[in-house]
Amino acid sequence: MFLIFDIAYLVFSLLIYSLSGFAAYSVAKMLWCEQLIFQVLAILLGYFLFLNFLVIFVGVFKRIVQPKLHVGEFPIGTNKKYVGWILNSLFQGIIIASPFAKQIHFIFYLNWLYYRLMGMKLPFSTLVGMNTVIRQPELISVGKKSILGLGCTISCHYSPNGKTHVQKEVIIGERSVIGGSANIAPGCRIGSHTVVGALTSVYPDVHIGDNVRIGAECSIKFASQIPDNVKIKSHTVIDKDCDIKSGETWGGNPARRIS
């Protein structure tokens, strides 16, 4: 299966790069003439158009070839649900592994367009920071005016035993902040006006309410529940046995109610 994936990756990469290059060249050559200034402008325009066409063609081929991603648990193998995940990784990989990835993610509208074409529910007012790692964008929804900080990771899949593959949605509300280098796992739901601090890890199936403040370098363990209007101090470890009530402040390891 991995050999087939490698071959498909090479084929689609060659096809998409060729189409993007040809489309950019076709437009840029109209500016080409003997004057140096127009030659420079043609080269710059061609490169800029190439980045745009690369993103567009990846999104188009993804939508044509890849089956819709499914939420749930299914076996690792040649079944349609797992193949959908493989193809999703393939088309993401064409951008992620390209030497143009940083330029694409640096240009705000192009970064937004890439994630939208990959299926992510992402308003134009939401900021996605540089070096952010987002897997299975199709299963991710982010509200208006939220911020995904530099280097944070959002993933919608994991394998609990090497035999099965689990995919779950990640939902983030409006005006929320995911801090730099934070990790958001599959099945997480984060409310609106909520802050997840830098370097904090949020494990699978965690539900966090509205107007919650979580400090830096916290660990929110599997299936924990944090209701609205809660404050979690930095370096705190929360697990599903913590009986947290709305309006409380928690801290420590093991975590305890402070106020």
Tens digit of each residue's pLDDT (9 = 90 or more) over 155-173: 999 998 888 999 999 999 9
pTM score, two decimals?
Answer: 0.91
Q: Cα separation of 152 and 161, whole Å?
A: 25
Tell me if 215 sits within 8 A of 236, measured CB to CB. yes
> What pLDDT is attached to residue 144?
97
Q: Which strands form 249-251's sheet, in the order they lie side by side?
A: 127-128, 147-148, 177-178, 195-196, 213-214, 231-232, 249-251, 256-257
In a domain, 172, yes or no: yes
Residues 255 and 162 in one domain: yes
> What pLDDT is attached to residue 39?
79
> What pLDDT is attached to residue 42?
84
Eight-class DSSP state of 74 = E
Residues 15 and 83 in one domain: yes
Q: Cα separation of 143 and 132, whole Å?
A: 17
> What pLDDT is attached to residue 1?
61
In a domain, 36, yes or no: yes
Angle, alpha carbons 128-129-130 (nearest 5°): 125
Write the CATH number for 151: 2.160.10.10
What angle, rounded to 10 degrees, do the helices at 80-96 and 36-65 form? 170
> What pLDDT is attached to residue 99?
93
Q: Cα separation of 137 and 155, whole Å?
A: 8
Radius of gyration of the chain (CA): 21
Residues 132 and 232 in one domain: yes
Helix (H) or strand (E) holding 148: strand 147-148
Cα 190–chain centre separation: 15
Number of structural domains the chain divides into: 2
Pick from 204, 164, 205, 168: which is nearest to 74 by CA?
Answer: 164
Full residue range of the structural domain in which residue 39 is found: 1-98
In a domain, 115, yes or no: no
**What is the sign, positive or negative, of the torsion defined by CA atoms of 204, 206, 210, 215?**
negative
In a domain, 150, yes or no: yes
pLDDT tens, residue order, the chain (259 aa): 667 788 989 999 999 999 999 999 998 888 787 777 777 888 888 999 999 999 999 999 999 999 999 999 999 988 899 999 999 999 999 999 999 999 999 999 999 999 999 999 999 999 999 999 999 999 999 999 999 999 999 999 999 888 899 999 999 999 999 999 999 999 999 999 999 999 999 999 999 999 999 999 999 999 999 999 999 999 999 999 999 999 999 999 989 999 8
Tell me if 140 sits within 8 A of 169, measured CB to CB. yes
In a domain, 33, yes or no: yes
> What pLDDT is attached to residue 252?
93
> What pLDDT is attached to residue 242?
93
> What pLDDT is attached to residue 43?
87
In a domain, 249, yes or no: yes
